[in-house]
Amino acid sequence: MVVTWFEQQIKKVNPQFEKPLNSEIDETGSQAKLKQTAEGESKPPPQTPPKKANTTKVDGIAWAAVFRSMSDQFTLSSEQLAKLLDAIPCHEWRTAVYACAVTRLHDYRNYDFIKHKMKHQEEKTYLYESFGILNVFNPHRPDGTYQLDLAKYEERMVCKMLCDLARQEGLNNMHEIKFNNSEVEKLTTDFIRTNIKNEGVFFGTYACPEDKIRTEFREQLG
C-alpha cells in the first residue's frame, strides 16, 4: 500500500513513469492500412519491429524528490521504508531516501536495517561515507562484519563499542580478526588496550549467541 501510494505521487511529478506495457508498440499487420503503390497494387506496409517497453522498475530521482518534499508529514515503520527502498534500483538514491526517512521511523531500534540490505561493499562504503557509520551502527543489533579505519573518529568509536560489547558478552564473539592486514588469533583485553587507539585498520566479524546478549548494556550503548 505504501509503495502504491508513492507511485501515485511520483506520477504527478513524472507522468511518463511506468508506461503500460503496450503503450509504445506500433500497430502493424492486419490493423495497418494498405498503401497504394505507383502501379496501383495494394501491398501491406513494411513491418517495423515493436519498440521495447519501458521496463525500468522505478525512477530513483523521482522517488527521492517526492520523498524529500513530504517526508516531514508522516511517520512510518522500518518495514514500510524497506519496501520503498526495494523499489529503488540505484543505491545512491536509496541512500538519499533513507537519509530523509530514518528520522521519521517510529520503531527506532530498527533504523540500521539498510546496512543488512546492502549486498556489495561499495554500497556499504557509499552509505557510510554519505550518512556516517555511527548513524547506521545499532548496538541493539551489532552482529556483522566490519572493516574500520581507526584514524577516522566515527569508525574508531564503532570499533570501541564493539570491543566493549565483546568484553561484556564474550571476547570469543569476535571472529576472523585482522589488524593492519595481519591475522589475529583471538580478541583479548591486552590486544584492545594495546592496539585500539588512533591508527590502524581493524577487521572482524561480531556474532553473539542469543543466550549471551546483555540487553541492559546494549541499552546503555544505544
Flag the least confident range among 127-131, 201-205, 211-215. Answer: 127-131
Residue 158 forms beta bridges with which residues? Answer: none
Q: Is the pLDDT of residue 105 over 90?
A: no
Q: How confident is the model at residue 215 (pLDDT cuts 50, 70, 90)?
A: very high
pTM for the full predicted model: 0.57
Q: How confident is the model at residue 75 (pLDDT cuts 50, 70, 90)?
A: confident
What's the rounded mean pLDDT across residues 173-200? 94
> Taken in order 155, 161, 164, 168, is the CA torsion positive or negative?
negative
Flag the least confident range among 37-41, 57-61, 73-77, 155-159. Answer: 37-41
What's the rounded mean pLDDT across residues 71-82? 82
Distance CA 183, CA 125 (A): 23
Closest C-alpha among 95, 24, 12, 86 to residue 55: 24
Q: Is the pLDDT of residue 209 over 90?
A: yes
| SS3 call for 6 | helix
Q: What mean pLDDT is reported for the chain? A: 75
What's the rounded mean pLDDT across residues 77-81? 83
